Amino acid sequence: MNYIGTPISRVDGQAKVTGQAKYAGDVNVPGLVFGAVVTSTIAKGRIKSIDTSAALKVKGVLKVLTHKNRPALPKSDQAWKDDIAPGGSPFRPLYDDKVMFSGQPVALVLAEEWETARYAASLVHVEYAAKPHITDLQAAREKAFTLKKSKKPRGDAAKAFSSAEVRHEAEYFIPTEHHNPMELFASTAIPEKRGKLTVYDKTQGVQNVHRYLCSVFKKKKGDIRVMSPFMGGGFGSGLRPQYQVVLAVMGALTLKRPVRLMLTRQQMYGLGYRPASIERLQLGAQRDGTLHAITHEAIVVTSQFEEFSSSDTEWADRLYKSPNAKFVHKLARLDVPTSCDMRAPGATTGVYGLECAMDELAVALKLDPVELRLRCYSDKDQSVNLPYTSKNLRECYQQGAKAFGWEKRNPVPRSMRDGNELVGWGMATGVWEALQMPAAARIVLGANGHAEISCATSDIGTGTYTIMAQVAADALGLPIENIGIKLGDSTLPQSPVEGGSWMAASVSHAILGVADEVRKTLFDAAKKIKGSPLSGVKFEDVTLSDGKIVSKKDPARAMTIAHVMRERRLDRIEKEKLHKFKKDEKHARNTHSAIFAEVKIDEELGVIRVTRVVNAVAAGRILNTKTARSQIMGGVVWGIGMALHEETAYDHKFGRIMNANIAEYHMPVNADIHDIEVIFVDEPDEHINPLGIKGVGEIGIVGTAAAIANAVYHATGVRVRDLPITLDKLRR
């Protein structure tokens, strides 16, 4: 193996720095029509009337579609369910006169130019009959409900809490956040011959969108092809098909012309989001720092029509030993779009609450926060009572603390300063799941020694193109320059949506599996060659290396792949295989991290800067230390945003978002980002999968906001539990 584990630069780098990478809204075809969406200005009610006459009078406007004149759409909920739809009734754009959230599409203007479409959209006049709405989680919390029966509690957490020597109880709040990928949601739908359709879509799963569109528009599998070769950031927002792809296809089918529909930045706030959540924690400990009771209850936002839910509460079972534990996850319905996955869904918010609570407990116990975590360290996932495939979290604490200089920390709040700034040091633990899914790959190996690898996965910016090339180059024994990667096309071999940090493991093992078939074919061919140096060698003993098929035991027994293929008159070897992971019910699978953060806070003004973060991660084998490091750095930046900046602000009177743009929705910018150090702790894992891969897309954000919040407390002595920690909250 030569490429796996090395920091090679991304193979799509050149396309990205020259502007050649084509995103869903970058496809230019002759006769392209441009769409613009009109969205609702009320949060709940009915459309009384829509007047499109002024829009239709604008020169260049071709059509305005509304619920009144749209083409037929299916009625059943089932027809609108995508692969990862939660329970409930999925949203259908332009379906009827019902308004379920502010920002809901109510009309689609189609015109010859985008400028024309956007102008005409501003002329569409909608009359509404509004109904009372609710968009405030605090106001809806009493009506929150549990989706499924809560898991049986372990022991009696309430009783153990009341008799504990040291108790901490508090409520933490995380507001709604939006993904805000730099790329706007866009689709270009192009009618082809014989009623077929090619759709370029911004998505994390082309095959999910493909199945969805076939179902919604009653098309056969071969009639629609969905493409997404590049994606300008997803972070979970593109896991489910979004409404613009339905509208683009609707427009293309209506006009029988290609249609591009790109949402505006404001309209992006009418899509999914990280749901606001209330995290209530009760921790009961003995004076020696052992936990006796953990209760974690979450109340999380969903819509009136679907029940999106991700696990906020059970992370404590993976991290901290406690004989008594109770976890309750509740949903509260608001008049908003359905919430959705956003980078480490559930863990980002739940672990924020848990890790701040642990810090408060450490203060109450007068224990170092790292020491408290070591005293409660769990070698088992208590929720299933299983050991881990690997868990090198102890090493994360140790290496992270050392790199940060944690031993120099004075535990007394407000005790450390730098000029007129208070200095705070805080830490937290991170945890995420190590998931893996069935996926297929195809290899086409040419006699010229070049191979094309394909899979319908997306590369959402994470580096999937690159790691696929690395794994394939090693498995086929070819230089990486000889490997071509195709992805983001629904006609390619099966792939799950790209999310949850599962794609690296899933697609890598799909490639390994099919590469084995190629090796077998080459081996069979090589043995048939007269005087073959490989005759008598067993298949298990040959490998592909340096462009050769070679005996592992005796490297002198080898033939070049080119020679074998030429001799056997093989122009190409093409193989495809679906890979499924072996079931392992004896282990729990997680990634872990320890985050150490330094903040400096202007004592008079309260301005907070995150000057240093060390994130030590144990995530199995790292395929590419360069792309993986970027994932963790990105996660840390998101954690900084979550801790100090990000909040989707609602005007509850109108049920609308007040900061639906990226100047007023504050995400981290250059001035906010300073030193970020990423450490990958060595974590060999023989159980999880042959390559020992766990995935790194989510783990970087988990715990980061808590480490910063804990540092803010250490600097100021003020505990702010509701995010984001803005300077006004330090003065309450």
Work out whether 333 is an interface residue with another protein (CB under 8 A). Answer: no
Nearest distance, CB of residue 633 and another protein, angstroms: 6
Strand partners of residue 676: 613
Instruction: Find the binder of another protein among 72, 412, 556, 671 (CB under 8 A).
Output: 671
Nearest distance, CB of residue 670 and another protein, angstroms: 5
According to DSSP, the β-strands at 421-433 and 572-579 are unpaired
- Alpha-carbon torsion angle 686, 689, 693, 696, nearest 10: -120
Work out whether 22 is an interface residue with another protein (CB under 8 A). Answer: yes
Residue that has been written with the tokens 């006169």 in this structure: 97
Cα gap 111→121, rounded to integer Å: 10
Number of residues that bind another protein (CB under 8 A): 64
Work out whether 480 is an interface residue with another protein (CB under 8 A). Answer: no
- Whichever of 179 and 280 has its CB closer to another protein, that residue is 179
Q: 105: cis peptide before it, omega within 30°? A: no
Whether the CB-CB separation of 309 and 331 falls below 8 Å is answered with yes
Whether the CB-CB separation of 284 and 116 falls below 8 Å is answered with no
**680 three-class SS:** strand
The maximal CA–CA distance of the chain, rounded, in angstroms, is 86
**133 three-class SS:** coil
Which are the contacts of 18, defined by CB distance < 8 A and separation ≥ 6? none
The interface region with another protein, picked from 18-26, 368-376, 493-501, 710-718 by CB under 8 A, is 18-26
Nearest distance, CB of residue 502 and another protein, angstroms: 19
Query: Interface mask (CB under 8 A) for another protein, residues 274-303, using x and -?
Result: ------------------------------
Whether the CB-CB separation of 287 and 166 falls below 8 Å is answered with yes
Which are the contacts of 28, defined by CB distance < 8 A and separation ≥ 6? none
The interface region with another protein, picked from 71-79, 299-307, 478-486, 656-664 by CB under 8 A, is 656-664
- Whichever of 79 and 662 has its CB closer to another protein, that residue is 662
Work out whether 447 is an interface residue with another protein (CB under 8 A). Answer: no
Work out whether 76 is an interface residue with another protein (CB under 8 A). Answer: no
Helices (H), 126-173: 137-140, 157-162
Query: Interface mask (CB under 8 A) for another protein, residues 215-244, using x and -?
Result: ---------------xxxxxx---------
The interface region with another protein, picked from 27-35, 75-83, 239-247, 510-518 by CB under 8 A, is 27-35
The interface region with another protein, picked from 96-104, 149-157, 188-196, 461-469 by CB under 8 A, is 461-469
Nearest distance, CB of residue 247 and another protein, angstroms: 17
Strand order in the sheet with 61-66: 61-66, 105-111, 33-39, 259-262, 186-191, 197-201, 224-227
The interface region with another protein, picked from 173-181, 239-247, 421-429, 530-538 by CB under 8 A, is 173-181
Phi, psi of 63 (to 5 degrees): -170, 150
Whether the CB-CB separation of 258 and 33 falls below 8 Å is answered with yes
Work out whether 500 is an interface residue with another protein (CB under 8 A). Answer: no
The interface region with another protein, picked from 89-97, 497-505, 527-535, 660-668 by CB under 8 A, is 660-668
First-to-last C-alpha distance (Å) of the chain: 58
- Per CB under 8 A, contacts with another protein among 348-367 are none
Amino acid at 536: G
Sign of torsion, CA 479 480 484 490? positive
Question: Packing angle between helix 464-476 and helix 503-528, nearest 10 degrees?
Answer: 30
Work out whether 20 is an interface residue with another protein (CB under 8 A). Answer: yes
Residue that has been written with the tokens 């005293």 in this structure: 375
Nearest distance, CB of residue 480 and another protein, angstroms: 15
Work out whether 34 is an interface residue with another protein (CB under 8 A). Answer: yes
Work out whether 257 is an interface residue with another protein (CB under 8 A). Answer: no
Name the token pair of 107.
Answer: 């009309």
Which are the contacts of 601, defined by CB distance < 8 A and separation ≥ 6? 421, 422, 423, 424, 607, 608, 609, 712, 715, 716, 730
Nearest distance, CB of residue 58 and another protein, angstroms: 11
Instruction: Find the binder of another protein among 139, 607, 669, 727 (CB under 8 A).
Output: 669
Cα gap 538→541, rounded to integer Å: 5
Instruction: Find the binder of another protein among 662, 717, 719, 729 (CB under 8 A).
Output: 662
What proportions of the chain, in percent to the nearest 5, are helix, strand and coil?
A: 30, 25, 45
Work out whether 264 is an interface residue with another protein (CB under 8 A). Answer: yes
- Whichever of 545 and 659 has its CB closer to another protein, that residue is 659
Work out whether 661 is an interface residue with another protein (CB under 8 A). Answer: yes
Instruction: Find the binder of another protein among 46, 58, 114, 328 (CB under 8 A).
Output: 114
Cα gap 629→9, rounded to integer Å: 12
Cα gap 267→38, rounded to integer Å: 9
Residue 383 DSSP label: T
**708 three-class SS:** helix
- Whichever of 219 and 666 has its CB closer to another protein, that residue is 666
Which are the contacts of 122, defined by CB distance < 8 A and separation ≥ 6? none
- Whichever of 45 and 697 has its CB closer to another protein, that residue is 697
Which has the closest alpha carbon to 319: 389, 400, 394?
394
CA of 334: how far to CAs of 197, 238, 277, 291, in Å?
Answer: 37, 22, 12, 36
Nearest distance, CB of residue 450 and another protein, angstroms: 21
- Whichever of 360 and 646 has its CB closer to another protein, that residue is 646
Work out whether 666 is an interface residue with another protein (CB under 8 A). Answer: no
Nearest distance, CB of residue 10 and another protein, angstroms: 6
Work out whether 182 is an interface residue with another protein (CB under 8 A). Answer: yes
Nearest distance, CB of residue 404 and another protein, angstroms: 15
User: Does 698 qualify as catalytic in the annotation?
Assistant: yes
Work out whether 667 is an interface residue with another protein (CB under 8 A). Answer: yes
Work out whether 23 is an interface residue with another protein (CB under 8 A). Answer: yes
Q: Provide the 10 A C-beta neighbour count for residue 305.
A: 18
Work out whether 28 is an interface residue with another protein (CB under 8 A). Answer: yes
Work out whether 183 is an interface residue with another protein (CB under 8 A). Answer: yes
The interface region with another protein, picked from 260-268, 270-278, 554-562, 589-597 by CB under 8 A, is 260-268
Work out whether 262 is an interface residue with another protein (CB under 8 A). Answer: yes
Work out whether 30 is an interface residue with another protein (CB under 8 A). Answer: no
Task: Please pick, among 306, 314, 646, 698, the residue that the annotation labels catalytic.
Answer: 698
Instruction: Find the binder of another protein among 3, 4, 10, 239 (CB under 8 A).
Output: 10
| DSSP per residue, 164-185 | -SEEEEEEEEE--B----SSPP
Nearest distance, CB of residue 232 and another protein, angstroms: 3
- Whichever of 112 and 517 has its CB closer to another protein, that residue is 112
The interface region with another protein, picked from 35-43, 319-327, 522-530, 636-644 by CB under 8 A, is 636-644
Work out whether 458 is an interface residue with another protein (CB under 8 A). Answer: no
Residue 266 DSSP label: G
Work out whether 26 is an interface residue with another protein (CB under 8 A). Answer: yes
CA of 144: how far to CAs of 110, 174, 298, 713, 714, in Å?
Answer: 41, 17, 10, 31, 34
Instruction: Find the binder of another protein among 1, 5, 32, 480 (CB under 8 A).
Output: 32
Phi, psi of 161 (to 5 degrees): -65, -45
Which positions are annotated as active-site residues?
Answer: 698
Which residues make up the interface to another protein (CB under 8 A)? 7, 9-10, 12-23, 25-26, 28, 32, 34, 113-116, 179-184, 230-235, 262, 264-265, 460-463, 625-627, 629-630, 633-638, 661-663, 667-671, 673, 676
